[in-house]
Amino acid sequence: MIETINVSLADRSYPILIGSDSLTTIGKELIRLDFPQRIAIISNFTLDNLYGDAALDSLKGSGFLPQLFNIPDGEKHKSLETLQLIYDFLIENNFDRGCGLIALGGGVVGDMAGFAAATFLRGIPYIQIPTSLLAQVDSSVGGKTAVNHPLGKNLIGAFYQPEMVLIDIAVLDTLESREVSAGLAEVVKYGVIRDYDFFCWLESNVQKLKERDTETLIYAVKRSCQIKAEIVEIDEREGSIRAYLNYGHTFGHAIEKLSGYGQWKHGEAVSVGMVVASKISAQQGLCTAQHVERLVHLLQALDLPINPPNFSLDEYIVSMLRDKKVKQGSLTLVLNRRIGDVTLQKVTDIESTFSSVL
């Protein structure tokens, strides 16, 4: 059975299709969408070896003309240099404005292929087929596309919505356990920022989530996508509440950058970032120590890190001040009032705010 969630954004609306063993339906789904016949699939060697043929066969079987291009695997390749490789492939193979693009991979492939689709010939339509849990619950939905700069995460990018997101839970079978945990960090985020009941459900389903029970994962992915869709529908370009999705991210991005892209998984860095954000929230009287404890307990149960790596406070501050969420030198943090509700708060004294929780 396929579950559908619609992201309603006027003429940029699109469906998120969630199922198991649904990758092979991509050809049929794209006929329904009237997607361009000529398609560039952007992937990497890991995903191509596992799922490239299934995607290509399904598309060819439905009369499409797909060509697959692999980029190097890993966060350290989420760069302008790799983006250039995608443009080279598209131009050398005469892709034109009548073509479409598919991102087949995790968040790194999705963010880069999405940015290529946004910018190639001023924009061609694209589809997200997210294959990591993190990409299924977060990065494939909402149209944020980007590459990293050596000085900061996702500093070069665009908002560009896909025409469809096709999520096949069965592909998570081949994901490393560490990657499953990293994806679950973003799932926990949705509970903290928006849905207390969902947080409680996660607490009760830790074992099934870790065992990758299909029904449990489908519910976790579906609820996460619903929450993200609701937020993006209200605030597509992060003028207000979309910033809630950055809970734990300012500090998390600093960990990723300081330790060298790829050393820490994005979700792992977000896990520590959420703990730091909740401790600041408790310190400011917004939530209680029990809320922090529950968050820490759930993250630990999901095999996620909760302690920051050993960089100096200065290094963290310099790095956080380069984050794209900084405006006129001032940092706004997402802090939790309790579990299930957050607020945005400008930090006036960054040093004392962070020194007391690190």
Positions in the binding site for ligand NAD (CB under 6 A): 44, 46-47, 50, 73-75, 78, 105-109, 111, 131-132, 134-135, 138-139, 142, 144, 153-154, 171-172, 174-175, 179, 182, 265-267
In single-letter form, the type of residue at position 270 comes to V
* Helices and strands in the chain, H and E counts: 15, 11
Query: For ligand NAD, which is the closer residue by CB, 182 or 254?
Result: 182
Q: If binding means CB under 6 A, how many residues of this protein chain bind ligand GLY?
A: 6
Task: Provide φ and ψ at 18, rounded to 5°.
Answer: -120, 125
Q: Give residue number: closest CB to ligand GLY.
A: 245
Query: For ligand NAD, which is the closer residue by CB, 173 or 197?
Result: 173
Interface residue with ligand GLY among 76, 242, 324, 338 (CB under 6 A) is 242
Least separation in angstroms between CB 74 and ligand NAD: 6
Catalytic residues: 122, 144, 186, 228, 238, 242, 246, 249, 253, 266
Residue 22 binds which entry of ligand GLY, ligand NAD, none, CB below 5-8 Å type-dependent: none
Other beta carbons within 10 Å of 322: 15
Other beta carbons within 10 Å of 33: 14
Interface residue with ligand GLY among 77, 78, 144, 223 (CB under 6 A) is 144
Query: For ligand GLY, which is the closer residue by CB, 79 or 246?
Result: 246
Interface residue with ligand GLY among 116, 188, 245, 347 (CB under 6 A) is 245
Task: Provide φ and ψ at 26, rounded to 5°.
Answer: -55, -40
- Give the dihedral of Cα atoms 260, 175, 86, 265; nearest 10 deg: -20
Which residues are within 8 A (CB) of 234 and not within 5 positions of it... i.e. 6 or more apart? 240, 241, 242
Least separation in angstroms between CB 228 and ligand GLY: 7
In single-letter form, the type of residue at position 290 comes to Q
Residue 75 binds which entry of ligand GLY, ligand NAD, none, CB below 5-8 Å type-dependent: ligand NAD
Interface residue with ligand GLY among 27, 142, 183, 340 (CB under 6 A) is 142
Residue 73 binds which entry of ligand GLY, ligand NAD, none, CB below 5-8 Å type-dependent: ligand NAD
- CA-nearest of 122, 60, 59, 55 to 87 is 122
Least separation in angstroms between CB 348 and ligand NAD: 28
Contact between 138 and ligand GLY by CB under 6 A: the answer reads: yes
Task: Provide φ and ψ at 347, rounded to 5°.
Answer: -95, 120
Q: Alpha-carbon distance 110 to 179, whole Å?
A: 16
Distance of CA 202 to the CA centre of its chain: 19
Least separation in angstroms between CB 142 and ligand GLY: 4
Residue 242 binds which entry of ligand GLY, ligand NAD, none, CB below 5-8 Å type-dependent: ligand GLY
Token pair listed for 150: 């050596």
Query: For ligand NAD, which is the closer residue by CB, 47 or 282?
Result: 47
Q: Alpha-carbon distance 43 to 108, whole Å?
A: 10
Query: For ligand GLY, which is the closer residue by CB, 149 or 242?
Result: 242
Residue 266 binds which entry of ligand GLY, ligand NAD, none, CB below 5-8 Å type-dependent: ligand NAD
Going through 209-339 in order, the beta strands assigned E by DSSP cover 331-336
Query: For ligand GLY, which is the closer residue by CB, 66 or 142?
Result: 142
Other beta carbons within 10 Å of 122: 7
Alpha-carbon distances, residue 351 vs 57, 315, 331, 354 (angstroms): 55, 11, 11, 6
Least separation in angstroms between CB 315 and ligand NAD: 20
- CA-nearest of 55, 69, 178, 61 to 113 is 69
Contact between 223 and ligand GLY by CB under 6 A: the answer reads: no
Residue 132 binds which entry of ligand NAD, ligand GLY, none, CB below 5-8 Å type-dependent: ligand NAD
CB contact at 8 A, 188 and 275: no
Where on the chain is the footprint of ligand GLY (CB under 6 A)? 138, 142, 144, 242, 245-246
